[in-house]
């Protein structure tokens, strides 16, 4: 007779991974809320397998007993993708090894629970980088980054997580292990299941390991804070920098004046970016791989930094740049990055923050901001719009501090942001995924034929619907 009571399931889980690695009740508290601490749940249990075989056995048990499974990595997501009321949460935190770094092939072989910063450190030993960087890298795990196809600040040069992965291993909803751990850059042998599972947010299976692309570590960085008259002027500067540096721009991040005001309120000991307040503040970073661009000259100047200063000076004289400060040392560079990477803390300086993750064509960012400022103000005249953007790839995190406490107004503001992005040829989700919070936007905006195809894939791979149920796809 099939066991299917909670007590029986917990006993079976203990047999698979050991009782010490099955958490329930207060022991599961750390997994019972999202990063924002605004969404809470009580899971059936949290199970922490040590290897792919144990993951497979856990999923086989869940499949056999029709138990919902919600995979969780560092739990740093922002779209309620790990909500797990009454579900079995499967944590990969014990599967955290960086198994190998192959410098000549420029790849890393890692387990899904490997923390991003640990992968960065392992690559750095070989003068290589894994160029996926964002504020939560000290706790975010590569499995979660792959599951959401995370972006970060370096997409402009290196692409999103999907572009940084050659192969994966995953456990399907049936408990079968699919080995796609290819180290090949070209493999045209059938459907690309790797790219299907990447970005699926755990609804089609659980990624347990990956083969990652590494890149040469820049030998020098040229980093600057730049004020421009507008976002359109900033785009002109970006294109000039890309042309004159051979595509070596690593990051091009936008922070408006109101964001800078909030940053200085949140961190009163921090320095403002300029002596004068500006509305359009850009963090730009250029990475030099070649010794020709990175080796200090006899006078101590670094060629890549001198080249950046020359470009900025030229743009200043033509009116395309209003002000600029180039970092003179690593400490100044880190101070500049600290402003950008504090975005999540800054946005939550006030309660009831409304936040969105959208993408628009890069040449429509100014138009988007103009439109959405007017439209959100019409809904809440005292709304304080605050945003940051990966300007180089068109990804904007629009946030606002509402004066209204009416949930209907909050919902209307979020909908207006999504709708405006779609109106301009953009997307309602850029790098945070869909989870639960963006399902309404998925229903409104995603092509119906595409949704039907996604449902068919979900039903084929997960006929019982146990894998991270209720996420991503609109309800039928």
CATH code (residue 393): 3.30.70.2740
Cα dihedral 456/458/462/465 (nearest 10): -110
- Geometric angle at alpha carbon 81, from 77 and 85, rounded to 5°: 125
- How many domains does the chain divide into? 4
Domain extent at residue 316:
220-343
Closest CA to 65 of 13, 118, 15: 13
Residue 418 placed within a domain: yes
H-state helical runs in 322-406:
330-341, 343-347, 365-379
The last residue of a domain, from among 292, 324, 343: 343
Closest CA to 110 of 92, 83, 125, 126: 92
Residue 442 placed within a domain: no
Q: What is the pLDDT of residue 3?
A: 47
Strands (E), 214-308: 215-216, 220-227, 249-256, 280-288
Instruction: Report the SS3 class of residue 208.
Output: strand
C-alpha span between 300 and 430 (Å, rounded): 41
Residue 119 placed within a domain: yes
Do 305 and 238 sit in the same domain of this protein?
A: yes
Do 154 and 260 sit in the same domain of this protein?
A: no
The last residue of a domain, from among 343, 371, 400: 343
Do 224 and 158 sit in the same domain of this protein?
A: no
CATH code (residue 296): 3.30.70.2190
Do 241 and 289 sit in the same domain of this protein?
A: yes
Do 307 and 285 sit in the same domain of this protein?
A: yes
CATH code (residue 28): 3.30.43.10
Residue 441 placed within a domain: no
List the chain pLDDT tens, one digit each, 476 residues. Answer: 344 678 899 999 999 999 999 999 999 999 999 877 778 999 999 999 999 999 999 999 999 999 999 999 988 888 889 999 999 999 999 999 999 999 999 999 999 999 999 999 999 999 999 999 988 899 999 999 999 999 989 999 999 999 999 999 999 999 999 999 999 999 999 999 999 999 999 999 999 999 999 999 999 999 999 999 999 999 999 999 999 999 999 999 999 999 999 999 999 999 999 999 999 999 999 999 999 999 999 888 999 999 999 999 999 999 999 999 999 999 999 999 999 999 988 988 888 889 899 999 999 999 999 999 999 999 999 999 999 999 999 999 998 899 999 999 999 999 999 999 999 999 999 999 999 999 999 999 999 999 999 999 999 999 999 999 999 999 88
Residue 187 placed within a domain: yes
The last residue of a domain, from among 216, 246, 266: 216
Residue 420 placed within a domain: yes
Hey, how many other C-beta atoms are within 10 angstroms of the C-beta on 137?
22
Do 334 and 371 sit in the same domain of this protein?
A: no
**b/e map of 334-370 (b: 16 or more CB within 10 Å)?**
ebbbebbbbbbebbbeeeebbbbbbbbebebbbbbbe
Gyration radius of the chain over CA positions: 23
HSE of 76, CA atoms in CB hemisphere, 13 A: 21
Which bin fits 300, alpha (ψ -120 to 50), beta or left (φ > 0)?
A: left
Closest CA to 90 of 62, 64, 110, 111: 62
C-alpha span between 344 and 337 (Å, rounded): 13
Do 401 and 431 sit in the same domain of this protein?
A: yes
Residue 159 placed within a domain: yes
């Amino acid at each position: 007779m099939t066991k299917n009571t909670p007590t029986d399931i917990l006993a079976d889980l203990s047999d698979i991974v050991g009782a010490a690695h099955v958490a329930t009740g207060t022991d599961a508290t750390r997994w019972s809320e999202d990063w924002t601490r605004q969404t809470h749940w009580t899971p059936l249990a949290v199970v922490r397998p040590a290897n792919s075989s144990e993951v497979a056995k856990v999923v086989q048990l869940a499949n056999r007993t029709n138990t919902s499974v919600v995979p969780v990595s560092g739990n740093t997501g922002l779209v309620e993708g790990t909500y797990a009321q009454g579900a079995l949460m499967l944590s990969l935190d014990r599967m955290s090894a960086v198994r190998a770094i192959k410098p000549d092939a420029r790849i890393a072989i890692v387990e899904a629970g490997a923390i991003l910063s640990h992968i960065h450190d392992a690559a750095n030993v070989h003068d290589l980088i894994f160029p996926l960087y964002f504020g939560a890298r000290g706790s975010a795990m590569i499995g979660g980054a792959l599951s959401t196809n995370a972006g970060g600040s370096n997409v402009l040069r290196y692409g999103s997580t999907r572009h940084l992965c050659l192969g994966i291993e995953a456990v399907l909803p049936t408990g079968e292990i699919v080995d796609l751990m290819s180290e090949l850059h070209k493999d045209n042998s059938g459907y690309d299941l790797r790219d299907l599972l990447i970005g699926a947010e755990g609804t089609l299976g659980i990624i347990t390991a990956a083969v990652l692309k590494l890149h040469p570590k820049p030998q020098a960085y040229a980093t600057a804070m730049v004020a421009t008259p507008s976002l359109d002027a900033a785009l002109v500067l970006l294109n000039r920098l890309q042309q004159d540096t051979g595509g070596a721009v690593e990051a091009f991040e936008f922070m408006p004046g109101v964001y800078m005001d909030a940053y200085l309120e949140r961190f009163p000991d921090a320095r403002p970016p300029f002596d004068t307040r500006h509305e359009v503040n850009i963090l730009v970073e250029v990475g030099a791989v070649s010794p020709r661009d990175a080796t200090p000259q006899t006078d101590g100047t670094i060629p890549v930094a001198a080249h950046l200063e020359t470009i900025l000076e030229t743009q200043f004289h033509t009116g395309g740049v209003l002000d600029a400060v180039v970092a003179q040392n690593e400490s100044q560079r880190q101070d500049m990055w600290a402003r950008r990477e504090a975005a999540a803390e800054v946005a939550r300086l006030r309660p009831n923050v409304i936040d969105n993750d959208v993408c628009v064509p890069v040449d429509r960012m100014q138009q988007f901001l103009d439109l959405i400022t007017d439209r959100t103000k019409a809904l809440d005249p005292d709304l304080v719009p605050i945003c940051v953007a990966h300007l180089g790839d068109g990804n904007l995190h629009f946030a606002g501090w509402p004066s209204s406490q009416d949930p209907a107004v909050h919902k209307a503001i979020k909908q207006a942001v999504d709708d405006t992005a779609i109106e301009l040829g953009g997307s309602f989700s850029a790098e945070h995924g869909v989870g639960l919070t963006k399902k309404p936007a998925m229903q409104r905006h995603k092509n119906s034929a595409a949704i039907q195809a996604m449902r068919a894939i979900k039903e084929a791979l997960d006929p019982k619907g146990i894998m991270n149920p209720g996420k991503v796809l609109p309800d039928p």
